[in-house]
């Protein structure tokens, strides 16, 4: 009996098939009610009692071997198409590679988050503007020399249709359309007819901030600037204001922050001065308020604006502005920030 079982075990293990029909024949021959294994189980009653345990185990092993063989062969034929193509479906899948946020988006989002904590909300407007919203409503009268400060791409002349030269144009829309008080933040793309170099581009990004209410003072502006500088560049950052000129603000100032790389001691990035210029700002010129239908005797406001490329270059120590637009993956992959 044991000899018979071992002989059959060998036969089962050695069996191979070339199609599913052969597997089915094999199953019927060995595993059906009239099959070889059932016959051996039938003979089991004749086995002497003292051998029953060992023979029983051997018989069970035989049955398991036959069942495993049938399942294994069935599987191999069911998946035969994949076998022929050389695919191994049991391999782990390739992970999907996610891109990273563009550094300009990271910095823009960070700035938006800081101002959102002060109650500013995002406001957007068209990139193709008319003369009124880009210039006249912001106190750039026709023939005013201040218009030459921004080399403009015109789409049409008379009436002037142009690519906006600053996001202040969105503020002109907001002043005319929004309910007071206004606390808006205008991120966006702007266009100027400038030669492309390491420090300038004909397309770049700005983010501006406008606050108009009763009793808004220069102290509010200074506090807002100080809060932004500390949140963005670090707790120890100091600000410095220098008088400047913009057509839409009076008084106007340029804002410097203490160099975050050398802490104010002087280094290459701050050219030894310990200060970095980050943005322009000022109190909204009463003319601008009146031009946009806001009573300048009752309301005052401040505005500030910065170039996102410039801030990003300062934050990450990037020396060439053109890198932002080349989309070189080796450059872009270096930027990650939690929470964006
Ligand atoms: Zn420095």
pLDDT digits (tens, 9 = 90+) for 108-143: 999 999 999 999 999 999 999 999 999 999 998 888
pLDDT at 84 over 70: no
pTM, to two decimals? 0.70
Q: Can you spell out the DSSP letters for 101-148?
A: --HHHHHHHHHHHHHHTTT-EE----SEEEHHHHTGGGT--TT-GGGG
Distance from residue 264's CA to the centre of ligand 1 (Å): 6
Distance from residue 306's CA to the centre of ligand 1 (Å): 20
Distance from residue 275's CA to the centre of ligand 1 (Å): 7
Using CA atoms, how far residue 334 sits from 233, 251, 316, 337, in Å, is: 19, 40, 10, 10
Nearest Cα neighbor of 180 from 215, 218, 134, 211 is 211
Distance from residue 221's CA to the centre of ligand 1 (Å): 25
pLDDT of residue 83: 57
- How large is the average pLDDT for residues 314-329? 90
Distance from residue 316's CA to the centre of ligand 1 (Å): 13
The CA-to-CA distance between both ends of the chain, in Å, stands at: 74
- How large is the average pLDDT for residues 281-300? 95
Residue 44 and residue 100 in contact, taking contact as beta carbons nearer than 8 Å: no
Distance from residue 319's CA to the centre of ligand 1 (Å): 14
Distance from residue 276's CA to the centre of ligand 1 (Å): 8
Q: How far apart are CA 327 and CA 332, in angstroms?
A: 7
What share of the chain has pLDDT > 70, as a percent? 97
The contacts of residue 166 (CB under 8 Å, 6+ apart) are 134, 150, 190, 206, 208, 305
pLDDT of residue 334: 86
Q: Which two tokens stand for residue 155?
A: 């789409």
Chain position carrying tokens 């990273």: 100
Distance from residue 82's CA to the centre of ligand 1 (Å): 62
Distance from residue 268's CA to the centre of ligand 1 (Å): 6
pLDDT tens, residue by residue, 62-80: 889 989 988 888 887 776 5
pLDDT at 185 over 50: yes
Distance from residue 277's CA to the centre of ligand 1 (Å): 11
Q: Which two tokens stand for residue 175?
A: 């002043």
Instruction: Report the mean per-residue pLDDT for the chain.
Output: 89
Across 51-86, b (16+ Cβ under 10 Å) vs e yields eeeebeebbeebbebbeebbeebeeebeeeeeeeee
Q: How far apart are CA 171 and CA 208, in angstroms?
A: 9
Distance from residue 271's CA to the centre of ligand 1 (Å): 7
338: confidence class by pLDDT, cuts 50, 70, 90: very low
Distance from residue 103's CA to the centre of ligand 1 (Å): 22
Q: How far apart are CA 168 and CA 287, in angstroms?
A: 15
pLDDT at 1 over 90: no
Give the domain ranges of the chain.
2-85, 103-332
Distance from residue 294's CA to the centre of ligand 1 (Å): 42
Tell whether domain 103-332 is in CATH 3.30.930.10.
yes
339: confidence class by pLDDT, cuts 50, 70, 90: very low
Least confident span in 46-50, 131-135, 174-178 = 46-50
């Amino acid at each position: 009996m044991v000899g018979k079982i071992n002989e059959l075990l060998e036969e089962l293990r050695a069996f191979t098939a070339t199609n599913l029909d052969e597997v089915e024949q094999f199953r019927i021959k060995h595993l059906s009610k009239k099959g070889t294994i059932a016959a051996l189980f039938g003979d089991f009653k004749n086995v002497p009692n003292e051998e029953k345990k060992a023979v029983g185990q051997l018989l069970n092993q035989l049955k398991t071997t036959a069942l495993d063989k049938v399942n294994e062969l069935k599987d191999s034929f069911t998946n035969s198409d994949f076998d022929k193509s050389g695919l191994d479906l049991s391999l782990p899948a390739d992970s999907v590679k996610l891109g990273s946020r563009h550094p300009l988006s990271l910095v823009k989002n960070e700035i938006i988050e800081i101002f959102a904590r002060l109650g500013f909300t995002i406001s957007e407007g068209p990139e193709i503007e008319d003369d009124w919203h880009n210039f006249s409503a912001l106190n750039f009268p026709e023939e005013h020399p201040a218009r030459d400060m921004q080399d403009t791409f015109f789409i049409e002349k008379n009436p002037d249709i142009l690519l906006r030269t600053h996001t202040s144009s969105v503020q002109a829309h907001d002043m005319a359309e929004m309910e007071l008080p206004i606390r808006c933040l205008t991120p966006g793309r702007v266009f100027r007819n400038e030669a492309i170099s390491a420090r300038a581009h004909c397309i770049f990004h700005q983010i501006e901030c406008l606050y108009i209410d009763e009793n808004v003072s220069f102290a509010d502006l200074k506090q807002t600037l100080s809060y932004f500088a500390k949140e963005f560049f670090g707790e120890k950052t100091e600000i410095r204001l220098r008088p400047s000129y913009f057509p839409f603000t009076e008084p106007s100032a340029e804002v410097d922050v203490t160099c975050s790389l050398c802490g104010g001691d002087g280094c290459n990035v701050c050219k030894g001065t310990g200060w970095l210029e980050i943005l322009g700002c000022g109190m909204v010129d009463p003319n601008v308020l009146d031009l946009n239908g806001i009573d300048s005797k009752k309301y005052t406001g401040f505005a500030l604006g910065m170039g996102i490329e410039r801030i990003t270059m300062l934050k990450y120590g990037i020396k060439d502005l053109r890198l932002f637009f080349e989309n070189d993956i080796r450059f872009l992959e270096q930027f990650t920030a939690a929470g964006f």
